[in-house]
């Protein structure tokens, strides 16, 4: 069983939902990331989404775009992000790490070379935003052969027919984008998300994590009532932006926020 599947199973057995935290590798500098990852886990994150900085993002709002710019200004590359995962694995062999980003850096490295390097580093999954399942068979085969789970996105506009395709091609879990917009958008209609997930459950073959627009413990607890996982990214990255000039305090400040989110979810029985 993969680390991702084990994570969801373990949380389910404890009547909890997985808290997934997203950061951009190398933001605001490369020295911060690994320590921050460990603090995130200690504070209640069950899974880490580690963003690979890219110059031309398509799904990210301004907060995460700026984070990617800071990481790129620190000369962070895909190889650097893989090295961060490998360093993290020296102390943590349990927490799943999913790389989230865009196909372009992977294509430059080469699918086989990337999959091999990701396996060596200890990567558990990938979310490649601009690589739909209809066009990603070659990379998927390279990843799956090395025990790495390709994770695909569902959206409010995804038809049932395409949702079935997404479930069939995903491994580990599927990621439901909770709103029509980019990361960090301000409006989240929890009732609409719950209704859509209720329909998807009829043929869902994997756990479903919900992200985009979740910014508070109260929202996370609401979503956790019906989702298998809650993804928070922009709200964490906003804290990192606030303290970018004093990066040494970032792990503590982010840890405090994650602790509040986890406490709200636990208090709600999720």
* Burial call 213-229: b when 16+ CB within 10 Å, e when fewer: bbbebebbbbbbebbbb
User: Are 227 and 198 in contact, with CB atoms under 8 Å apart?
Assistant: no
Q: How many residues does the chain have?
A: 270
User: Are 52 and 2 in contact, with CB atoms under 8 Å apart?
Assistant: no
The CA distance from 120 to 29, in Å, is: 23
Let me know if 86 is a catalytic residue. no
| Torsion sign across C-alpha atoms 164, 166, 167, 168 | positive
| Phi and psi torsions of 230, nearest 5° | -120, 130
The CA distance from 245 to 249, in Å, is: 10
**Candidates 49, 140, 222, 228; catalytic one:** 49
Let me know if 228 is a catalytic residue. no
**Candidates 14, 56, 60, 135; catalytic one:** 60
Q: Tell me the catalytic residues.
A: 49, 60
């Amino acid at each position: 069983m993969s680390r991702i599947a084990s994570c969801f199973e373990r949380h389910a057995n404890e009547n909890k939902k997985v808290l997934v935290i997203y950061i951009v590798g190398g933001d605001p500098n490369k020295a911060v990331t690994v320590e921050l990852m460990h603090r995130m886990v200690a504070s209640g994150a069950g899974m880490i989404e580690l963003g690979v900085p890219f110059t031309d993002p398509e799904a990210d709002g301004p907060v995460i775009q700026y984070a990617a710019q800071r990481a790129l200004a620190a000369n962070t590359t895909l190889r650097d992000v893989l090295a961060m995962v490998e360093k993290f694995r020296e102390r943590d062999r349990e927490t799943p790490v999913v790389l989230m980003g865009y196909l372009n850096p992977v294509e430059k490295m080469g699918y086989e070379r990337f999959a091999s390097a990701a396996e060596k580093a200890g990567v558990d999954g990938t979310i490649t935003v601009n690589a739909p399942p209809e066009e990603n068979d070659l990379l998927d085969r390279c990843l799956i052969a090395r025990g790495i789970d390709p994770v695909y996105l569902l959206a409010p506009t995804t038809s049932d027919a395409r949702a079935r395709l997404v479930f069939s091609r995903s491994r580990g879990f599927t990621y439901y984008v909770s709103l029509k917009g980019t990361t960090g958008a301000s409006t989240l209609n929890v009732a609409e998300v719950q209704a859509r997930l209720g329909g998807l459950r009829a043929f869902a073959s994997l756990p479903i994590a919900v992200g985009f627009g979740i910014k508070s413990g109260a929202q996370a607890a609401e979503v956790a009532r019906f989702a298998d996982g809650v993804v928070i990214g922009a709200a964490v990255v906003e804290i990192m932006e606030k303290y970018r000039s004093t990066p040494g305090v970032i792990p503590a400040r982010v840890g405090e926020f994650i602790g509040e989110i986890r406490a709200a979810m636990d208090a709600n029985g999720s």
